Amino acid sequence: MLPEAAGPLASRLAAGEQLLADPPAALVRRVDDLDRDGRGLVYAGSYTAVRSFCGRRVLGYRLESHFAAERKDVQYRLLGVETSDRQLLRIENHTDVRHAITEQVAHGPAVIQGVPRGLLAIGASHTYLLPADASRSRISQMLDRITEDCADLILAPLNTGLPCTYYGFLTSDHVVDFGPFEALVYWDRRSWRLYAPGVIRPVQLGDQEAASRSAVRAAARRLQQRIDYAGAFGTDGVVSANPYSVHEINPRVCAGFAVLDHICDDTIPLAAVDLVVRERRPPAGHPLMVRLDQLATALRRIQTPVIRLLDDRHRSIQEKLSTSAVRTSDPAAWLRLARLCLASKSFVSITQFAPAGDH
């Protein structure tokens, strides 16, 4: 077990990546003592781009292009949204950026995502929701905060609807998708930040289900074609009057995969599946891919109430809701309660977000 640095997720991952790439002599000696013939293999998760550790091969490492694909500006190009209602803006000229933001907010609530400098994109990007009555002074304060870490930002109108997440695996000729899961998304009224602390089910999309799955598969194929990726992936987006709008697709085992492990009763090690898919790139007819398809079909039929909060600080809330989920006779009522589980006067569930208010 490698020592873990303190601080925000982006900093911890950056420190871990540096440790893998350049381990201290004491750690090298410890590994050599454990693996005296030097033939050991190393698994370092699904995010690392380091190819060897202490002279041993790292299994399932990602290419730099896979690593970079988590950046919001790269996502902007990967998903082919250059001509959509999103704008990619440089923050060099604050006056022009403030004008663009003010113009967007004049038409309704807007979402801003910052593109960080010098940090891993995972968990590092600022994401803000600006209400329709956002003042110029508050916009300036928010832009100043973004500028501390970011050189670029993406500006878009708020895409209202049900926040949804899909997980899956992809190879050059096949996509397996598990979902949908509803993403618990909250807006902090004080900072305007958006947070996604977990996922829940049930999710019933009705006649939009097929089209939403098609959108997921199209995004996954685009990811594979543009950066030659095989392995696990996760999408974030919104289902509204139109089918699923994919906001981002990340090439890795996302934290929400834990809910899949939970539903499967921890009998299928999905992190190991990711490793096999990345290493072997099995074709569509391979038994592993066939079994994954069967699992995905089965999971779409299983819509019993389940919640997964990704921060250990919320363990007691998750345990309470999980216990009540087993006993509930009204899944819809349980779902409404779960959406509000972290809500407060300042922390607003996106499903309860009001376009304007006292800010």
Query: How much of the chain is in helix, strand and coil states, percent to nearest 5?
Result: 40, 25, 35
- Give the pLDDT confidence score for residue 17 in this predicted structure: 84
Residue 246 CB neighbours (<10 A): 23
- Give the pLDDT confidence score for residue 35 in this predicted structure: 92
- Give the pLDDT confidence score for residue 333 in this predicted structure: 93
The residue among 297, 275, 272, 276 whose CA lies nearest residue 286 is: 276
> In terms of C-beta density within 10 A (0-12 exposed, 13-18 middle, 19 or more buried), how is residue 308 classed?
buried
Residue whose entry in the numeric block shows the structure tokens 């989920």: 325
Q: Name residue 26's amino acid.
A: A
Q: How far, in Å, CA of 58 to CA of 17, rounded?
A: 12
Q: How far, in Å, CA of 232 to CA of 166, rounded?
A: 11
User: What does each C-alpha distance from 282 to 42, 82, 110, 170, 217 come to in angstroms?
Assistant: 21, 32, 41, 9, 17
pLDDT below 70 — which residues of the chain? 1-10, 81-84, 118-125, 266-267, 354-359
Q: What is the pTM of this model?
A: 0.87
- Give the pLDDT confidence score for residue 83 in this predicted structure: 47
Q: Are 86 and 154 in contact (CB under 8 A)?
A: yes
- Give the pLDDT confidence score for residue 73 in this predicted structure: 83
- Give the pLDDT confidence score for residue 334 in this predicted structure: 94
Token code pair at residue 129: 């929701």
Q: How far, in Å, CA of 51 to CA of 69, rounded?
A: 18
Task: List, for residues 101-136, the tens digit of each pLDDT value.
Answer: 999 999 999 999 988 876 666 655 689 999 988 988
